[in-house]
Structure 1
């Protein structure tokens, strides 16, 4: 029952917002009493923390699956970008913005978990890229990995990048190219240029088919 409550609550919180959804709403949606929910979660805040961690672990598993595909480091980053774009575009409200505004303690916990997981993934990506001759061998992996994490987080800052001016797809595309052009060798840059050109051709074909 606890897992069912977390799953249903996650769905409601992501679709309607953490502040909008009440314990009564969750109980009514599940056809159970509010008392049953309180048997597992003392407060709504405790439930929100559980759902945030549950969703984070679910996303982490999806990203881990990308790393098992044995793609080259540049291709790997593009696949992760595509996953993030698809995931974020399906959200009606920004969960991270809501957590930061209304539940800062949970936001801090989640950000630390994100850092630990992403730090490990990015360092691995950088080291493999260096070993394969795609990234420069004089990179300070520790510094670059932290820059990558913090800059990626900044893209979600509504004040810095208002959604009425920048799309998530646009921000992620520009950021990934910016990141890679700063660390790639000539070999890596050639591979990057081919990847960008292929994406451009694919997008043009999609637009043509839509018009037709």
Structure 2
């Protein structure tokens, strides 16, 4: 099925925003960059905020589709969790730190949408995987999973982008230190070989 002009523009704009942020990019700039008239651009999107909002929705939609393929696998919940975060790290690597900075500073309503997706991810994917691992006996019953997720996994992209981690380390090292070792801290020692 052929993508519509609107879908193509959202995809291109998402890539552009991820690389260059959003602050100094106008609708005029985008029209020139993508070879469309301003009239066409404004007929598809009321303003830059709407285009940015749809770009964020596409970013999360793409990520969640890939996560769903991980979740339907027959792997144990710890492996699914690790694969979900491995995928997240790949996605965040594509961000320039300026992207999140400009969202926070100049686009609060869009940032609120972005954060809603993060809450969905946490409450409907991450915590259920941790709970399943706890129910299966991989994680001690005494562990407060909500608190664990809060201090270890919430705002992972901000932690990675703020410290130039991607310039210094490969994805595998990032996974080891930011995800795997933290999980091993709550997983019973006899199950460390599962991941």
Fold similarity call, TM over 0.5: yes
What does 1:1-212 align with in structure 2 at a 5 Å threshold? 1-150=5-154, 152-156=156-160, 158=162, 161-163=163-165, 167=169, 169=171, 170-191=173-194, 195=195
**Conserved in 1, the CA contact under 8 Å of 2:139 and 2:187?**
yes
Report how far residue 45 of structure 1 moved. 1.9
Q: Distance in 2 between matches of 1:107 and 1:59?
A: 17
Deviation readout 1:166-212 (Å, 9 max, x if unpaired): 54734442121342123211222243xxx4xxxxxxxxxxxxxxxxx
Deviation readout 1:115-156 (Å, 9 max, x if unpaired): 122221112211221232211122333333433442625523
When the two structures are superposed, what TM-score results if normalisation uses the length of structure 2? Answer: 0.80
Report how far residue 58 of structure 1 moved. 1.4
Q: Which has the higher contact order (CA 8 A, sep 6+)?
A: 2
**Conserved in 2, the CA contact under 8 Å of 1:24 and 1:34?**
yes
Q: Distance in 2 between matches of 1:172 and 1:25?
A: 37
When the two structures are superposed, what TM-score results if normalisation uses the length of structure 1? Answer: 0.75
Q: Which runs of 5+ in 2 are unaligned?
A: none
Q: Distance in 1 between matches of 2:26 and 2:155?
A: 34
Measured on the aligned residues, the alpha-carbon RMSD in Å equals 2.7
Of structures 1 and 2, the larger Rg is shown by 1
Report how far residue 163 of structure 1 moved. 4.4
**Conserved in 2, the CA contact under 8 Å of 1:66 and 1:80?**
yes
Report how far residue 92 of structure 1 moved. 4.6
Report how far residue 94 of structure 1 moved. 4.9
**Conserved in 2, the CA contact under 8 Å of 1:119 and 1:149?**
no
Report SS of the residue matched to 1:150. Answer: coil
Report SS of the residue matched to 2:36. Answer: coil
**Conserved in 1, the CA contact under 8 Å of 2:77 and 2:132?**
yes
Report SS of the residue matched to 1:155. Answer: helix
In structure 2, the CA distance between the partners of 1:119 and 1:164, relative to structure 1 (3 Å rule), is: closer
Q: Which runs of 5+ in 1 are unaligned?
A: 196-212
Q: Distance in 2 between matches of 1:40 and 1:133?
A: 51
Report how far residue 10 of structure 1 moved. 1.3
